[in-house]
Amino acid sequence: MNIPLPELSLVALIGASSSGKSRFAARHFRAPEVLSSDAFRALVANDENVLDANEDAFDSLYFVAGKRLARGLLTVVDATNVQPSARKRIVELARAHDVLPVAVVLDVEEDVLVARHEVRGDRPFGAGVVRGHAHDLRRSVRNLEKEGFRHVFHLRGAAAVEAAVVERVP
């Protein structure tokens, strides 16, 4: 799938843990364009896996995103974004800065997610958490336009995620 992104976009990557969001972000965007919840948890709490740092981490992430959008810089939010509350903040932030909220959904097969998760040493939670993300995603995915995302790119399966091409449009 070709993903044409307007330069004035706030891009939400949406996908379970191990769906490949960070890898996708690294492949298709410049490092400063990508704000990841992991990086912000590490900044505020020294460790990307301190989950009780979530509120501070996300407040900081959206603060920085707002500063970037005010400069007209395309920004990517690398977090699971499988919860409606997380996506609501992204849509509101985009609207506040008059940029387009764009959803890129990494909808990877659950067995692939779990297999990747099992070989990761950097995620101290069980596969049940990953399955929970996949469940939340399935419930969410059809509502994204209604939530306010102006473009929704739904990559169905790991192969579609691998094959995606991101293109910048003025």
Contacts of residue 56, Cβ cutoff 8 Å, sequence gap at least 6? 44, 45
| Contact yes or no for 46/54 (Cβ under 8 A) | no
Close Cβ partners of 32 (under 8 Å, ≥ 6 residues apart): none
In the list ligand CTP, Mg ion, none, the entry touching 95 (Cβ below 5 to 8 angstroms by class) is none
Options 13-21, 66-74, 81-89, 143-151: segment touching ligand CTP (CB under 6 A): 13-21
Of 9, 14, 20, 62, the residue at the interface with ligand CTP (CB under 6 A) is 20
Is there binding between residue 53 and ligand CTP (CB under 6 A)? Answer: no
From CA 19, how far away is CA 36, in angstroms rounded? 14
Asked whether the CA dihedral 59, 98, 107, 141 is positive or negative, the reply is positive
Nearer to ligand CTP, 109 or 147 (CB): 109
Given the complex with Mg ion, which of 40 and 149 has the nearer CB atom?
Answer: 40
The dihedrals phi and psi of 164, each to the nearest 5 degrees, come to: -65, 145
Task: Dig out the tokens for 116 from the structure.
Answer: 């990747």
Q: Is 120 in the site for ligand CTP (CB under 6 A)?
A: yes
Amino acid code (one letter) for 39? A
Q: Which does 17 bind (CB under 5 to 8 A by kind): ligand CTP, Mg ion, none?
A: ligand CTP
* Binding test (CB under 5 A) with Mg ion, winner from 3, 8, 22, 73: 22
Between vectors from CA 119 to CA 24 and to CA 136, what angle results, nearest 5°? 60
- Residue 167 Cβ vs ligand CTP, minimum distance, rounded to whole Å: 20
Asked whether position 81 contacts ligand CTP by CB under 6 A, the answer is no
Site of interaction with ligand CTP (CB under 6 A): 15, 17-23, 38, 80, 116, 120, 123, 158, 162
Site of interaction with Mg ion (CB under 5 A): 21-22
